[in-house]
């Protein structure tokens, strides 16, 4: 069993928490997420042009890059996290260019050595899988794909092919951190997806509060929260860990007490 499989095999839905690497004291921020009860950590790789992200995560990217964060720093943060938390799954999320700059083999191997379990690359759809997918799979890292409201039934098998770990269902056609989709639409889409796959489905984009998270946890295998956490890092800087722990604890309580999802 991999760390990711374990996280989604618990008796309750999984809480997936995102922060940007190099934004604030990332080690302390990550520890706060784990202490608060996050089941999976998504670590954002900063990029100058995060075109799928809303204002909150854009700002996190800029803060990180302005602080001088490099790819080596991101990998170092991941490696140290793995040393401190041997069992908590860690997923890198970001954009293609920083990932393939030194070659996809280099990146897959470096991520593996840093103890990374999965990679979400926003702008490598199944059509361009060759750019990074084979190298990740060879290194034993899960390529985690996104499915969206525009991913129709005909296209879904292509999205699922070659992906593992979990499927990230993007609840709204839009960018991160904006409005939340109606729960009816989320429920319908998640159940449609789950008819085609055994891979766990986590839902994100626009999830900010424990109430929203609880509602989604009733119908999915996991809930992803990003922008609301990144905003806390932006607002509170060095004092962010306490705030992150508090919000994560609230989210975890809500998600973990939901009935095991549609699974």
Partner 1 sequence: MASTANTFRNQPDERGHFGDYGGRYVAETLMPLVLDLEREYRKAQADPEFQREFDDLLEHYVGRPSPLYHAERLTEALGGAQVWFKRDELNHTGAHKINNCIGQILLAIRMGKTRIIAETGAGQHGVATATVCARFGLPCVIYMGAEDVRRQSPNVFRMKLLGAEIVPVTSGRGTLKDAMNEGLRDWVANVEDTFYIIGTAAGPHPYPEMVRDFQSIIGKEARAQMLDRIGRLPNLAVACIGGGSNALGLFHPFLDDREVKLLGVEAAGHGLDGDEHAASLLGGFPGVLHGNKTYLLQDEDGQITEGHSISAGLDYPGIGPEHAWLKDTGRVEYTAVTDEEALEAFQLLCRTEGIIPALEPSHAIAAVAKRAKEMPKDSVILANLCGRGDKDIFTVAEKLGVEM
Kindly list the residues in this chain that would bind partner 1 in the complex (CB under 8 A).
47-52, 54-55, 58, 62, 65, 70-71, 95-101, 122-125, 127-128, 131, 145-152, 155, 159, 170, 172-175, 178
Picking from 94, 35, 92, the residue whose alpha carbon sits closest to that of residue 61 is 94
**Nearer Cβ to partner 1 (27/65):** 65
Q: Which is nearer to partner 1, 127 or 198 (CB)?
A: 127
Q: How far is the CB of 197 from partner 1 (least distance, A)?
A: 15
Using the minimum distance from each CB to partner 1, give the nearer residue, 8 or 95.
95
**In the complex, what is the shortest distance from the CB of residue 52 to partner 1, in angstroms, rounded to a whole number?**
5
In whole angstroms, how close is the CB of 122 to partner 1 at the nearest point?
5
Nearest to 137 by CA among 110, 157, 115, 118: 118
Determine which helix (DSSP H) or strand (DSSP E) holds 170, and give its type and residue range.
strand 167-170
Tokens of 45: 């790789």
Q: Which is nearer to partner 1, 128 or 239 (CB)?
A: 128
Q: How far is the CB of 238 from partner 1 (least distance, A)?
A: 25
Contact 116, 66 (CB under 8 A): no
| Residue in 42, 129, 187, 231 annotated catalytic | 42
Q: Is 211 a catalytic residue?
A: no
The answer to whether 224 and 242 are in contact (CB under 8 A) is no
Strands across the sheet containing 222-225: 142-143, 118-121, 90-94, 40-44, 14-20, 222-225, 201-204, 167-170, 146-147
Least distance from partner 1 to the Cβ atom of residue 48, Å:
5
Our CA dihedral for 45, 42, 168, 2, rounded to 10 degrees, sits at: 120
For partner 1, the closer of residues 206 and 241 by Cβ is 206
Q: Which residue of the set 23, 39, 53, 215 is catalytic? A: 53
Is residue 235 among the annotated active site residues? Answer: no
Which uninterrupted H or E stretch holds 94? Answer: strand 90-94
Q: Which residues are catalytic?
A: 42, 53
């Amino acid at each position: 069993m991999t760390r990711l499989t374990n996280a989604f095999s618990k008796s309750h839905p999984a809480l997936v928490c995102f922060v940007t690497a190099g934004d604030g004291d990332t080690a302390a921020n990550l520890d706060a997420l784990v202490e608060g009860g996050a089941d999976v950590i998504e670590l954002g790789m900063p990029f100058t042009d995060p075109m799928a992200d809303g204002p909150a995560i854009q700002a996190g990217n800029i803060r990180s890059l302005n602080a001088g964060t490099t790819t080596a720093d991101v990998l170092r943060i991941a490696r140290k996290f793995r040393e401190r938390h041997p069992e908590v799954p860690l997923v890198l999320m970001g954009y293609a260019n920083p990932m393939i700059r030194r070659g996809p083999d280099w990146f897959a191997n470096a991520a593996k050595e840093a103890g990374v379990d999965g990679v979400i690359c926003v702008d490598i759809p199944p059509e361009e899988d060759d750019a990074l997918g084979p190298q990740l799979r060879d290194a034993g890292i899960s390529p985690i794909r996104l499915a969206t409201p525009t991913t129709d039934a005909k296209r879904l098998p292509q999205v699922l092919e070659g992906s593992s770990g979990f499927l990230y269902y993007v609840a709204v056609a839009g960018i991160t951190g904006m409005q939340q989709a109606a729960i009816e639409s989320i429920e319908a889409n998640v159940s449609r997806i789950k008819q085609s796959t055994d891979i766990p489905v986590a839902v994100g984009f626009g999830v900010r509060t424990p109430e929203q998270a609880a509602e989604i946890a009733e119908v999915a295998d996991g809930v992803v929260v990003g922008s609301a956490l990144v905003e806390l890092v932006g607002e509170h800087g060095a004092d962010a860990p306490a705030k992150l722990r508090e919000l994560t604890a609230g989210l975890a309580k809500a998600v973990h007490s939901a009935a095991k999802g549609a699974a």
